[in-house]
Amino acid sequence: MSDQDPADRLDPSVRELTYRLMGMAPDAPSFPQEAAMTVPETKQRRPMFVWATAVAAVVLLVGLPLFLFRGGDTAPDDVAATLASGPTTTVVGEPTTTIPGGTTVPVPATVDAEFSVYLFSDSLTTAGGDPALVPVHWRAAPLEGASLWQEAMRVLFSSSSKIAGYTTALPVPFDQGSVRLDSGVLTIDLPAEFESGGGTMAMTTRLAQVVFTATQFNGVDSVLFMIGGEVVDVFSSEGLILDGPQTREDYYDILPFIFLDTPAINLIAPSPVHITGIANVFEATVLYEIVDGNGNLLNSGFTTASCGTGCWGDFSVDVPYDVPQETTGEIVVYEESARDGSRVNELRYPMTLVPGNDGPVPSTTIPPESSTPTSLPGEAFDIGPLAGDVVGVVGVAHDDVLFVRDGPGVGYEPFVELDPLADDLVATGRHRLLESSIWTEITAEEFTGWVNSRFIGFLGGVDDLTSFAVDQLGGIPEAETMLDLGEMVAAVFGSTDEGGSRIEMSVAPTVGDLGEVTFDVVGLADDAQLGWRLHIFGQPTEGGEGFSLMSVEATALCGRGVTEDGLCV
């Protein structure tokens, strides 16, 4: 199941477009008769030592750091363990209805049963525009003898889960006796009809609803699906493969980038609101707001997930608020765009706000105005430019800027914007390690502030790597525009794995007698060499239709410092 990718299949417009594209495919050409002769290709390469040097350079500069980076890429799995256990029940007041050890402890018959039912929202969507899976608060009469998870399953599969504004993919009523919990695995035996209808996506959404609803309870770790008494390993005609008991982790793909698990939608949430969820966001920073029905901001702030920028991490924060009387409101979570600071991946859950006994809310938890050493987030970190080192901005697109902020972290206000080629920044030697980012304090003539260390580096020596690029591209590349030419050349220095390196055009193309463009290739995940700044020159082709590569001047971008010879330390 973890290798299924339902969110990617949900978009009918992309599927249609793909089918239209495939509809244009010409017939396959007949077998090329030259290929009948299986003569191994004779080597017509440049002298071996040149080639070997180039290969060695690639291995050194790209291969090793890539390998290291891939290792880091598996981080989401580590997070999964902490997430799979899920939240506790959404109980208002006494937290007495969790199920210890997965046994069937009945809820006291005097307490309303409260939990979340996971449905698909008609109005909230994932970043990809697909309906988002959301927890909807459910309150039932006191249970008599049944467990919370039994009641939750009953509600989920019954017509009562058809709530206006939400969609359920589960049409099949089923027998309560066919669910059992054993050692944290909830086994559910479904009728054969469950498999029918819908495509892979529909089936995945059904399974996700069951898994999320079941695993919200302590003591339920995973769900094993059976059909007609047999464990399912391939689901439905769509060939959905389930590798054993399913956990939430198997369904992250269909979540929005910020998934808010509590408070559930429509919950009456007294102050402070316990906000929990998982997120896969830039710098792991999740911002939140509590607003009342009139749009007044009651509180706001940010929290960090346990992992970020390409991996899923969990977050949890208690947010106080104060209202004079019971009112409707919303909890809002969002992320600031790494590019321009705009609000993205926003999710709004309606909830009911009630006056609390907490008295007035202290000031919002927005970061402090000025940074003092004791109040900085994260921990001190001693790897990075030393005090007095001169560093430059790297890996920032030509139409973008690097923000200098009041403090370490994207929660702090930016107050200076640095040019993509700024190279006169002096490090103060202070660094802070946050959950998923490292921040460095820099100073220039007019200011002192913090920048994300990903976007600074030492500028090393310049090498002419024209022949390397030509060799890699199998000839002198040509392209219609300098932009295209630059992209082709830069791709040689990056890696095929998009996660392995980042390519930004740091200077837009200029075209005179010659064409010129600059690309930064960064993120090689090597402490010493972060990447290259490629100054690419092209000359007009004879036909005047484009440019052919003339030269590539590569400036090493170093992470720790530069020797006198311009090499990365």
Partner 1 sequence: MGVMTNEEIYRKYADDLVRFATGLVGPFDAADVVTDACLRSFRGKDWPQVLNHRAYLYRSVLNHARSHHRSTLRRRVREMRAATPAIDWPYEVDVDVLAAVDRLSVQQRASVVLTYWEDLSAAEVAKRLRISEGSVKRYLARARSRLRETLDE
Task: Count CB atoms within 10 A of the CB of residue 185.
Answer: 17
Whole-number Å distance between alpha carbons of 267 and 353: 9
Tell me the three state secondary structure of residue 539. strand
Tell me which of 155, 421, 491, 508 binds partner 1, using CB under 8 A.
491
Choices 13-21, 287-295, 394-402, 506-514; region in contact with partner 1 by CB under 8 A: 13-21
Residue 19 lies near partner 1 (rule: CB under 8 A): yes
Tell me which of 14, 60, 231, 476 binds partner 1, using CB under 8 A.
14
In this complex, which beta carbon is closest to partner 1, that of residue 257 or of residue 458? Answer: 257
Residue 502 lies near partner 1 (rule: CB under 8 A): no
Choices 3-11, 299-307, 322-330, 418-426; region in contact with partner 1 by CB under 8 A: 3-11
Smallest distance from the beta carbon of 484 to partner 1, in angstroms?
5
Residue 48 lies near partner 1 (rule: CB under 8 A): no
**Residue corresponding to tokens 């977050």:** 315
Tell me which of 101, 325, 496, 513 binds partner 1, using CB under 8 A.
496
Residue 360 lies near partner 1 (rule: CB under 8 A): no
| Cα-only R_g, the chain | 28
Tell me the three state secondary structure of residue 107. coil
Tell me which of 111, 224, 488, 508 binds partner 1, using CB under 8 A.
488
Q: Which of residues 190-209 bind partner 1 (CB under 8 A)?
A: 200
Question: What DSSP designation does 218 have?
Answer: T
> Identity (one letter) of the amino acid at 370?
S
Closest CA to 123 of 352, 353, 349: 349
Residue 543 lies near partner 1 (rule: CB under 8 A): no
Q: Which two tokens stand for residue 480?
A: 């219609």
Residue 95 lies near partner 1 (rule: CB under 8 A): no
Question: What DSSP designation does 437 have?
Answer: -
In this complex, which beta carbon is closest to partner 1, that of residue 32 or of residue 544? Answer: 32
Smallest distance from the beta carbon of 522 to partner 1, in angstroms?
17
CA triple 369-370-376, angle to 5 deg: 105
Residue 487 lies near partner 1 (rule: CB under 8 A): yes
In this complex, which beta carbon is closest to partner 1, that of residue 113 or of residue 201? Answer: 201
Helix intervals (H) in 173-291? 200-214
> Identity (one letter) of the amino acid at 324?
P
Choices 263-271, 285-293, 421-429, 469-477; region in contact with partner 1 by CB under 8 A: 469-477
72: left (phi > 0), else alpha (psi -120 to 50), else beta? Answer: alpha
Q: Which of residues 112-131 bind partner 1 (CB under 8 A)?
A: 127-129
Report phi then psi at 348, rounded to 5: -125, 120
Choices 137-145, 258-266, 480-488, 510-518; region in contact with partner 1 by CB under 8 A: 480-488
Choices 90-98, 459-467, 486-494, 551-559; region in contact with partner 1 by CB under 8 A: 486-494
Residue 480 lies near partner 1 (rule: CB under 8 A): yes
Report phi then psi at 196, rounded to 5: -90, 160
In this complex, which beta carbon is closest to partner 1, that of residue 27 or of residue 565? Answer: 27
Strands 185-190 and 222-227: parallel
In this complex, which beta carbon is closest to partner 1, that of residue 309 or of residue 327? Answer: 309
Residue 326 lies near partner 1 (rule: CB under 8 A): no
Residue 9 lies near partner 1 (rule: CB under 8 A): yes
Choices 5-13, 77-85, 131-139, 327-335; region in contact with partner 1 by CB under 8 A: 5-13
What residues contact residue 45 under an 8 Å CB cut-off, 6+ apart?
51
Distances (CA, A) of 376 to 385, 408, 434: 19, 7, 10
Tell me the three state secondary structure of residue 337. coil
Tell me which of 114, 195, 221, 253 binds partner 1, using CB under 8 A.
253
Residue 224 lies near partner 1 (rule: CB under 8 A): no
Q: With contacts defined by CB under 8 A, how many residues of the chain interact with partner 1?
A: 56
Whole-number Å distance between alpha carbons of 139 and 427: 56
What residues contact residue 566 under an 8 Å CB cut-off, 6+ apart?
460, 461, 462, 556
Please count the residues of the chain. Answer: 569
Footprint of partner 1 (CB under 8 A): 2-5, 8-9, 11, 13-15, 17-29, 31-32, 34-36, 38-41, 70, 73, 127-129, 200, 253, 310, 473-474, 477-481, 484, 487-488, 491, 496-499, 546
